Structure 1
C-alpha cells in the first residue's frame, strides 16, 4: 500500500477511535448460524447474546492472505466480518465467495480506499455502489454496513451512507497491524485493550499481512480461553 495510505492511517487513528466508540454502540451483533443452516447471519434475541463477546473484523481484503485467515478462523470455530475493497473483490472474486460460503459477513469498505469525507457525492456514490455490485455478484447479498477508510466519518459521511442504505461501522481496538509492528506487538495490543463488546480491527489485505496471520492463533485461543464469544455484524 502506498506511503500516503500509511500516513493517512496514522493521521486519522485518534479520530477513528473516538468515532469508533460511538459507532460501536450501533453495531448489530449477529450470531453465527448453526451447522447446516444458511450462512446468513441471524440476529439473536437480546437474551441470547453472550455475556462476554467481541466482534472480529478484517479490512482491505480480499488478498492472498485471506485464505490463511479463513483456515485459522475455521480451526478455532470463529466467525468474523470482512470489510472488503471493491477493487480487491474484482481481483480475487473467488476468495470473496469463499469468505461468504464459510459463514462470515462480507461488508463494504469502499472501492479504492479514499477518505470519504473529502470526496464528491458522485465519487462517494460510485465508491460504495460499485463495491456493492462486485460483492453481490459473489455473495448474492448487498452489504448494509460501510466502514469508511481511515475511520473517516463526519455528519456528511453518515448522511450520505444512510441515503445509500448503509450504516457506518468502525472499531474500538486497533493494534495497527497494518504498520507491521511485529507479531508479538499485535497480540499484546489486542489482548491488552479488548473488553466485552469490543470491535477488533485487523487486516487481511493492503500489504504484507504475514504478521497478522501469525498473531491470529494466539489472539483467538486467548480470547476463547477468557470466555469470549465471537459475533459478526450485518447492520440489518
Structure 2
C-alpha cells in the first residue's frame, strides 16, 4: 500500500513539474484571462520591449548620421486584437514608431558615409561611368535576390547610353547624380562644380524623368564647396563605408570575403559595374543577408523607418 502511494506521489510531482512553466506563462497559457490580466500582460511586454528613438547627429569621423525611429507598444490596439481569445499572443502585438527630434535634413553641408548604426540594413552604391558589358549580369543577380541598389550616373554616360539607363531605372533601382565628366571636384570652382551637377540632373531628368536627391562625387574627391553646391541643388552628398576596390580587378571571392567581413549595421558599399562585382554579387548578397542584414537603396537605408 505504501509503495503504491509513493508511486502516486512521484507521478503527481512529475505532472506538476511538466505543467508548471506553462501555467505561469501568459504567452502560452490557454486559460482565458480577465480584461485586467490581459492588459497587465500587454503592459509588462511593453515595458520590456519599447525602444527609444535615436536622434540624427554629426559624428567626428562619419559626419552626418541619420536618426532612427523608436517604437512603443500600442496597448489598446494590441488588446483589441487579443480580446476575443482572451490570451496573450506576442504575434498580435501592435507597435507604433516614434520619430527622433533631430533629423538628417536638419544638417546642411555635411557628407554622409553611413546609415544609423542601430539599423540592420546595408546599401549598395553602384557608380556608373563605363563598364556597360557587366551591367546586364549585375541586374540579373539583383533581380534574383529581389534587391534594389542606388546607381549613381555620370551625366555623359547617360547621354551616350539612354537605353541602358532606362533599363536600370525600369528595374526599380534608385538613381543618383555622379557629375557629368567624372571630374576631380576638389580642384573645381563653385561655378564649375554647379555646372557638372546641373548638367547631370538635366540629362537624367530628360532621359528618365527622375530628379536625383543623392550625389556621389567621382573618386570620392570633394571639398566643402562640393557639398555646399549639392545642398543648393537639394541633394545630399553620399560617400561610402566599405569599398569593394573592384577597379583593381581583385579575384571575386577575395573581394567578397573582404567586404562581407567589414559590413555592419548601416554600411554603404561602393562598387562599379566591373567583372569582380558581376562575378561576386551573388555571393555578396547571399552572405550579407545570411548575416542578418537587409539590403536597400540609399533612401531606404538613410530613412528613420525601423527594421524589426
TM-score range, shorter chain: 0.7 to 0.9
Query: Deviations along 1:30-60, whole A, 9 cap, x unmatched?
Result: xxxxxxxxxxxxxxx778x995110111012
Give the equivalent residue in structure 2 for 1:6: none
Provide TM-score, normalisation by structure 2.
Answer: 0.59
Match of 1:57 among 93, 104, 125: 125
The answer to whether 1:215 aligns with 2:284 is: no
Normalising by the residue count of structure 1, what TM-score does the alignment of the two structures yield?
A: 0.76
Structure (1 or 2) with the larger CA radius of gyration: 2
Range with greater deviation from structure 2 (179-188 or 106-115): 179-188
Quote the Cα distance in structure 1 between the aligned partners of 2:61 and 2:244.
14
Residue 75 of structure 1 is matched in structure 2 by 144
Q: Which runs of 4+ in 1 moved over 4 A?
A: none
Cα deviation, 1:143-187, whole Å, max 9, x if unaligned, reads: 011111121232222112111222101100002111112212211
For residue 254 of structure 2, what is the aligned residue in structure 1?
A: 185
Q: For residues 145-224 of structure 1, what are the structure 2 equivalents within 5 Å?
A: 145-204=214-273, 209-224=274-289
* Distance in structure 2 (CA, Å) of the matches to 1:27 and 1:95: 35
Report the equivalent of 2:213: 144
Query: Gapped runs of 5+ residues in structure 1?
Result: 1-17, 29-44
With over 3 angstroms needed to count, the CA separation of the structure-2 counterparts of 1:141 and 1:132, relative to structure 1, is same
**Residue 172 of structure 2 is aligned to residue 112 of structure 1:** no
CA distance in 2, matches of 1:89, 1:197: 29
Question: Quick one: structure 1 residues 129 and 73, their matched pair in 2 at CA, closer, same or farther if it must change by over 3 Å?
Answer: same
Match of 2:46 in 1: none
- The counterpart of 2:157, out of the listed 74, 88, 91, is 88
CA distance in 2, matches of 1:133, 1:64: 25
Q: Which structure exhibits the higher relative contact order, with contacts defined as CA atoms closer than 8 Å and separated by 6 or more residues? A: 1
Deviation, 1:61, is 4.0
Q: Structure 1's 20 and 92: CA in aligned 2 closer, same or farther, altered over 3 A?
A: farther
The answer to whether the 8 Å contact 1:86/1:111 transfers is: yes
Change (3 A) 1:224 1:127: same
Q: 1:174-228: per-residue Cα shift (whole Å, max 9, x none)?
A: 0211111221221112111100110001111xxxx11210011100111111221
- Cα distance in structure 2, aligned partners of 1:217 and 1:21: 28
2:192 corresponds in structure 1 to: 123
Pairwise CA RMSD: 2.6
Contact 1:61 1:82 in 2 (8 A): no
Q: Number of paired residues?
A: 197
Instruction: Name the CA shift for 1:20/1:70 in 2 (closer, same or farther; >3 Å).
Output: farther
Does the 8 Å CA contact 1:27/1:233 hold for their aligned counterparts?
no
Query: Displacement, 1:100?
Result: 1.2
